[in-house]
Amino acid sequence: MSKSDVLLISSSRFIDHETPTGHPEQPARAVVMTRVADRWRSNGGRVVEPTPVETAALARVHQEAYLAEIASTGGRRVQLDPDTYASPETEVVARLAAGAAVSGVSYALEKNSPALAFVRPPGHHAERDRAMGFCLYNNAAIAAAHALSRGLERVVIIDYDVHHGNGIQSMFYDDPRVLYISTHQYPFYPGTGAASELGRGGGAGFTVNIPLEAGAGDADLDFVFRRVALPIALAFQPQLVVVSAGFDAHVDDPLGGMRATSEGFGTLTRLIYRLALDHCDGRIVIVTEGGYHLSALEACLEEMLVVTAEQIRSLEEIPPVSGPTDVAEAALGPILLAQTPYWPSISTSL
């Protein structure tokens, strides 16, 4: 893959979603995203503006009454939950964020190449009928639902934000067409994401939670990806990979207690991208979520762009991260107990 194959969807309009002074999901995050995008463009990368999402795409995952509630915030300042706010331009900006995710899917499906959406507000906490956790529209879920509407039968969403993506989980909890895999700090906000949360009915086994205690670092995340997440995704045989890319597991992030680095996120993204290259013709869409330390966010965004333009011939070319894996190993037992009945290959995966 070369830089010219990678599509970055970004816009300075994401600055226009305003939050109260001191709020961690601040407009300065969009300034960082725009700065990274501008550098990518100046170095020969392709950057395009997002287009607003159509209401029909939102309605695949959100209830009609909820969409009307968010639409009614246009031109006003509204507190939607204890830490989620709308400003006069927020509904328009949120439609651009969801639209970027949808456009990324269309590009990945048509070009068999990576698409990245640098967006805010984030999305993975938003439920069918309510905003929460800084999120209004569930961008990654909207992307997956759009892919299903295009005829795909198997989409994997991989979420490495420090917080569990309760909204994504609930939207696809009974749907075997979407495999949701999440690594996250636990117990932690929003309180969901235990290893025992597996899915329901026909979706049983298609929710894979990998909860880790505070203090987990790069080696821990690399360990659980190789031991659990990737073998399950491989067995699922996805036709598209969607990454819910939050960087608040970074050691410098003020909202989490994990110890990942930008290089560690690079390794995770490299592993996921190689999965996409090997098993779905390179179809991968990366959508930003959290990440509230501005310089750490910038470094992680840069790392993602570097990874998607790399030539990686095999998983074997990606060396394991060195370092202690005590947190990951302590978490492994309950995860294997929960998931092995559905994914027997992980009982012996390395």
Q: What angle do CA 116, 119, 123 make, to 5 degrees?
A: 105
In degrees to the nearest 10, what's the CA dihedral of 299, 305, 309, 315? 70
Radius of gyration of the chain (CA): 18
In Å, how far are 25, 264, 296 from 307, measured between CA atoms?
A: 25, 12, 17
Question: Cα separation of 215 and 249, whole Å?
Answer: 9
Question: Cα separation of 213 and 199, whole Å?
Answer: 22
- Helices 28-42 and 294-308 cross at an angle (nearest 10°) of 30
| HSE (side-chain half, CA atoms, 13 Å) at 38 | 8
Question: Cα separation of 46 and 202, whole Å?
Answer: 40
Catalytic residue at 125?
Answer: yes
Q: Which of 17, 62, 124, 125 is catalytic?
A: 125
155, β-bridge pairs: 178, 240
Phi, psi for 337 (deg, rounded to 5): -60, -40
DSSP states along 182-196: EEEESS-TTS---TT
Question: Cα separation of 149 and 141, whole Å?
Answer: 12
Cβ-contact 114, 5 below 8 angstroms:
yes
Active site residues: 125
